[in-house]
Structure 1
Amino acid sequence: MDRKRTVHQLDTPYSTVQWPQVSHDDQETILELLCSLLSPLGHHRRSFITPSKGKRAKRKKRKAAETETAANVVPPAPEVAKDVDLGLANISRSLEKVSATSKQNQHEASEATGQDGVSNESTPEPYAVVFVARSGQPSVFHSHFPQMVAVASKAVPSKQPIRLVGFSAACEDGLSSALAIPRVSSIGLREGAPQTKALIEFVREHVPPVEMSWFQEVESGRFLETKINAVEVPVGNKKQKT
């Protein structure tokens, strides 16, 4: 019979924030619309951007790149590129900036406003939708997104709540192919980009906003005891001395 011992873990007493549920059919439709939107970016990358072969190759070609003629200048990326952010770090920073800038405008309006009554610091345009490939990577990389999306949405109540869509591994492969990059961890899409209306409207109709009930729990001022979990874990056999 396996021996077990009890391990105690401290947990937050507040309600956890869940990812919005998206049906398989809706996920497929969202993926199709998103890949159609992003495919011009992938075409531009394949046609005009040489894949990186490492720092050594980059140093060897640096001098040659400086002597390129104007005929070889890479044309600008499609217009949608300015409204699309890629990568966990970029999107996390943008969400954080939206929340922080809004809070600063509320509490330090007198300092942030110039003589003409217009704010000197403009709040970055919030995302309409954030897409995250959840499969195939540890949850520590994306577990913060529900909280950050909910806080950023609360910071701009005049806007539609930011939608959060979690994708499966199969969807990640399709996004990588559309963007012509090896891996896509997350995509942030701002409203107003060309050809985005159908996608954003479909997401808002079929994906609910992130619910963060612990915001209300904190504001209620009610004391909540620390949650202590008791977990039984197996005890391994002791190694025999040789």
Structure 2
Amino acid sequence: MERKKIVHALDTPYSAVEWPHISQDDQDTILELLCQLLAPIGAHRESFITPSKGKRKRVRKANNPAGSGTEKPVEPIPPSPPISAHVDVGLSVISRGLQAMSREEDNSPSGPSPSSTKNTTKIESKTPQPPPPIAEPGSRTRPPPYSIVFVARSGQSSAFHCHFPQMVALASQTQQPTNSNPDPAIRLVGFSRACEDRLSAALGVPRVSSVALRAGAESSGPEGVSQARGLVEFVRERVAPVDVAWLREEGGVGKRKGGFLETRIEAVPTKVGVKKVKAK
């Protein structure tokens, strides 16, 4: 008769968040549209921005100031394409942008809540402070929210991008629908095939793993209107928003109940092996 014992294992009460399912044909179409949209940024970088040659050249120039006078005068660099103002590149930049969007006090029109500034009022009151500047009507202090986040999942560890579904879902909860944008949920596109080379070639940078497109890219100049609008409409039609079950049960970011979620303790029956007798 087999001997069994109960082994207890701790598990998180929060369910795992899955990436939105996108067919391979749709992924290829989205990648093609994205590279066409980013191509002007890479062309501008390759034409007018000199690649960095490292720290050694700066050290030689500092040690030999006499030879620096023979260099040609630097010509003014033309402005970047309008689409570059609506594009963020890099894991750190996009993660900070999603974190800023997820903060409830940062997205409120009146600024931080009184409770968040109660502890700093006593310290700031010791020194006179100038009055805050008066915001002009219609001025925008925060950048536009993200519309789509693209992540190259293939070829790198999941530790670099496993946080994106949760952060995208939290940031989407803070966005309010408007007449021009009735569906403000951020779309998350994960490319299952290796596409870092195509993205880096389109942007003119050595390595790219994630790209974010901000809202309003459809109005980024006449050359990018049709491309950005086609990409955004295609993604919103084919890609579903990120669904987080435990976040939906809690009521979202602005309606958190603050209830206690018990730790899941799994009781797993396992077979007890035969004890080995050491040979004398």
Aligning the two structures, in what range does the TM-score lie when normalised by the shorter sequence?
A: 0.7 to 0.9
Pair 1:142-2:161 in alignment: yes
Pair 1:102-2:102 in alignment: no
Q: CA deviation at 1:146?
A: 0.7
CA shift in 2, pair 1:38/1:68, >3 Å: same
- Aligned match of 2:122: none
CA shift in 2, pair 1:188/1:109, >3 Å: farther
Pair 1:88-2:107 in alignment: no
Pair 1:174-2:178 in alignment: no
- Aligned match of 2:230: 198
| Cα-Cα RMSD | 3.5
- Aligned match of 1:235: none
Q: Secondary structure at the match of 2:194?
A: helix
Q: CA deviation at 1:40?
A: 0.8
CA shift in 2, pair 1:114/1:69, >3 Å: closer
What amino acid is aligned across from residue 31 of structure 1 in structure 2? L
Q: Is the 8 A contact 1:98 1:124 kept in 2?
A: no
Identity %: 52
Structure 1, unaligned runs of 5 or more: 1-5, 233-242
Q: CA deviation at 1:106?
A: 7.5
Deviation larger for 159-168 or 220-229: 220-229
Pair 1:127-2:146 in alignment: yes
How many residues align structurally? 226
Q: Secondary structure at the match of 2:189?
A: strand
Q: CA deviation at 1:52?
A: 2.0
CA shift in 2, pair 1:106/1:216, >3 Å: farther
Deviation larger for 36-45 or 102-111: 102-111
Q: What whole-Å deviation, never above 9, does each CA across 1:179-219 have from its counterpart, x for those lacking one?
A: 12221111010122232111000000000001111113345
What amino acid is aligned across from residue 227 of structure 1 in structure 2? R
Structure 1 distance, partners of 2:158, 2:164, is 10
**Matches for 1:211-226 after TM superposition, within 5 Å:** 211-219=243-251, 224-226=261-263
Q: Is the 8 A contact 2:155 2:194 kept in 1?
A: no
Q: Is the 8 A contact 2:168 2:242 kept in 1?
A: yes
For normalisation by structure 1, the TM-score amounts to: 0.78
What amino acid is aligned across from residue 163 of structure 2 in structure 1? H
- Aligned match of 2:31: 31
Pair 1:227-2:259 in alignment: no
Q: CA deviation at 1:19?
A: 0.7
CA shift in 2, pair 1:162/1:75, >3 Å: same
Q: Secondary structure at the match of 1:131?
A: strand
Q: 1:165 aligns with which of 186, 189, 195?
A: 189
Pair 1:12-2:12 in alignment: yes
CA shift in 2, pair 1:171/1:216, >3 Å: same
- Aligned match of 1:238: none
What amino acid is aligned across from residue 79 of structure 1 in structure 2? P
CA shift in 2, pair 1:86/1:227, >3 Å: same
Q: Is the 8 A contact 1:14 1:217 kept in 2?
A: no
For normalisation by structure 2, the TM-score amounts to: 0.69
CA shift in 2, pair 1:163/1:221, >3 Å: same
CA shift in 2, pair 1:9/1:51, >3 Å: farther
Structure 1: 4+ residue segments shifted above 4 A: 6-9, 61-65, 103-107, 109-121, 219-224
Whichever of the two has the greater Rg, that structure is: 2
Q: 1:187 aligns with which of 185, 194, 211?
A: 211
CA shift in 2, pair 1:221/1:55, >3 Å: closer
- Aligned match of 1:69: 73
Q: Is the 8 A contact 1:96 1:148 kept in 2?
A: yes
